[in-house]
Amino acid sequence: MTYRVCFVCTGNICRSPMAESVFRARTAEAGLEDLVEVDSAGTGGWHEGDGADPRTVSVLAEHGYEGGHTARQFQTSWFARLDLVVALDAGHLRSLRRLAPTPEDAAKVRLLRSYDPAAGDDLDVPDPYYGGLDGFEECLEMVETASEGLLAAVREQVEGRAA
């Protein structure tokens, strides 16, 4: 049975496609690519149909990650098929939990950096959109670090289903 994870940011062109690419690579490295489905979306539809921000594409490519992305808006109906909805900041977390049709669906929403034990109290991945390339590099570093803990949590869930 496939475990489904969706990363969500504002417009689905910077942070969430970055997290999607990184986590897809982590699941492949762990041999879980056939058991874990990874995608992303935005809380808003401003960029629907667009590719990822060119700075996201550039930073991902520079670090050896696959690209290929089309932005889309998160839909409430997706909660029924998703196992985990990963918000990139507290604003997304609140928006997604408000959208959740049931308390069980709201409980599926977690902050990405909550999987990074060294993150401290600031669990937001800052939006790099209005800054320079260094913000995208910082975003990638946060995503990569948190993805290790997220992978451990997802692996536990996947192995629990198989048992």
Q: What does the block give as tokens for 140?
A: 């990638």
pLDDT tens, residue by residue, 104-147: 999 999 999 999 999 999 999 999 999 999 999 999 999 999 99
pLDDT band at 161 (very low <50, low <70, confident <90, very high): confident
Which CATH number belongs to the domain containing residue 107 in this structure?
3.40.50.2300
pLDDT of residue 93: 98
Is the overall model pTM greater than 0.95, yes or no? yes
- Please count the structural domains in the chain: 1
40 lies in which domain range?
3-162
pLDDT of residue 160: 84
pLDDT over 70 at 163, yes or no? no
Q: Residues with catalytic annotation? A: 9, 15, 127
Q: What is the mean pLDDT of residues 40-58?
A: 97
The residue among 50, 49, 27 whose CA lies nearest residue 38 is: 27
CA atoms within 13 A on the CB side of 160: 7
pLDDT over 80 at 162, yes or no? no
Q: What is the mean pLDDT of residues 153-159?
A: 96
CA distance 109 to 11: 18
Using CA atoms, how far residue 43 sits from 72, 76, 90, in Å, is 9, 10, 12
Report whether 24 contacts 63 (CB < 8 A).
no
pLDDT tens, residue by residue, 57-103: 999 999 999 878 999 999 999 999 999 999 999 999 999 999 999 99
The residue among 37, 38, 47, 36 whose CA lies nearest residue 14 is: 47
Q: What does the block give as tokens for 90?
A: 């507290």
